[in-house]
Amino acid sequence: MQFNLRPATVDDLAQIMAIFNEEILHGTANWRDEARSLEQMQQWFEQLQQQQFPLIVAEVVGTHHIAGYADYDTFREIRGYKQTVEHSVFIDPAYARQGLGKKLMQALIDIAKSQNMHIMVAAIDAENHASIRLHQALGFVQTGLMPQVGQKFGQWRDLALLQLNLDE
């Protein structure tokens, strides 16, 4: 199967929301506990656009089906962090293990470098070994482990922090 990576449009938000809400309701890669509404997704999309931050989709070639998406956003609102971003990548489970995460991540890294970002941060559930390995393969280094900082499905979760120096 082939995929086309492209900037997301407002018309993609319902499919992006479906992927995101699937993870919220059934996975541990995101520790939210309430599904997002289309209105919330539109506000998020507008905020990313205002900041000139990317939202990239992987579209199945020949269709309008979104198989995954990636974005980055402000790491912290404090001005001193302005060249540090935190990213997210989510893949529709039907398209897992096809290399989409790596392709989307590489596209984000390229955009971040072109925008003169310095550090890209990944905050990953410590039990998500596949995501940690993917990030390490792309040059991310684990710089922290925060035990039991969040909960999902009534269990305490550990958070692994990884970062990539975009200037190296």
* pLDDT tens by residue, 12-42: 999 999 999 999 999 999 999 999 999 999 9
* The model's pTM: 0.94
Q: What is the CATH number of domain 3-165?
A: 3.40.630.30
Instruction: Give the long-range contacts of residues 164-167, CB within 8 A, separation 24 or more.
Output: 164/109, 164/119, 164/120, 164/122, 164/135, 164/138, 164/139, 164/140, 165/118, 165/119, 166/109, 166/112, 166/113, 166/117, 166/118, 166/119, 166/120, 167/118
* pLDDT tens by residue, 77-132: 999 999 999 999 999 999 999 999 999 999 999 999 999 999 999 999 999 999 99
pLDDT above 70 covers what percent of the chain? 100
Going from N- to C-terminal start, the domains of the chain cover 3-165
Neighbouring-strand partners of residue 121 = 86, 163
* pLDDT tens by residue, 71-92: 999 999 999 999 999 999 999 9
